[in-house]
Amino acid sequence: MLKGKVAIVTGGTRGIGFSTVQTFLDNGAKVALCGSRQETVDKALQKLKAVNPDYDAIGFATDLLDTKDVKKLIGDVVAKWGTLDILVNNAGIGNSTPLYDQVEGEFAKVIALNVQAVYNCTKEASEIMRQNHSGVILNTSSMVSLYGQPAGCGYPTSKFAVNGLTKSLARELAKDGIRVNAVAPGVIATDMVEALGEEMKARLAKTIPLGRFGEAQDIANAFLFLASDLASYVTGEILSVDGATMT
């Protein structure tokens, strides 16, 4: 579905990001994965090569809040593969600290990585995409971007902002042939969810109409669809993948 396409996936070393990287590779894309530390980037690449030595994948440890570092990332990818077709802004951090317990800088840290980094990468990538009058920008949102959450106001605030960027840039960049969409995951089976224990997991699963947690692959599949030509007339959408939790 993505044969010959060149993609960058931030936050691509584990979880949803890693599954998205592998799914894109399985569908013919060339993929640059990004992580915050070289160690985790190297480990992710080794894991991919163990699955398929022929995967066309490279990795970067990039500070997404440093515009010079982001510019270098985009430049290095284009220098290697000649273009950039797909950007997945997946890097981010969560937060569930109650308002009264938050320390100075905690809110700003969440907003910086979850919003400013998305903006930085999108701006640099779109400059390349508009030259080809073609491109896809995909953002990781969250089900709490629609309804908020009971503690940790910075995280849903950041995801509301991601939705705003998605919808606004979809309208602005359409003239340049660039589509912009987001995926809003529900409760996904991650290491953090596993740590809750069996009883808590069972109680949580009962709140989901489909009766189970989502898998990282479920989100990767949504990104695959939105990145492909099957979604050529889809832009400005926030696609919920949450088992009807927020319906």
What architecture (CATH level 2) is domain 6-239? 3-Layer(aba) Sandwich (3.40)
Written as six digits, the tokens of 80 are 């290697």
37-56 tens-digit pLDDT: 999 999 999 999 999 999 99
User: Percentage of the chain surpassing pLDDT 70?
Assistant: 98
* DSSP collapsed to 3 states, 101-141: HCCCCHHHHHHHHHHHHHHHHHHHHHHHHHHHCCEEEEEEC
4-23 tens-digit pLDDT: 999 999 999 999 999 999 99
What is the pTM (predicted TM-score) of this model? 0.94
- DSSP state for residue 230 in the 8-state scheme: G
- Distance, CA of 119 to CA of 132 (rounded, Å): 20
Residues classed as catalytic: 155
- Interhelix angle 154-173/117-132, rounded to 10 degrees, is 20
User: In 3-state terms, what secondary structure has residue 84?
Assistant: coil
Written as six digits, the tokens of 232 are 């050529």
Asked if 138 and 24 count as a contact pair (C-beta separation under 8 A), the reply is no
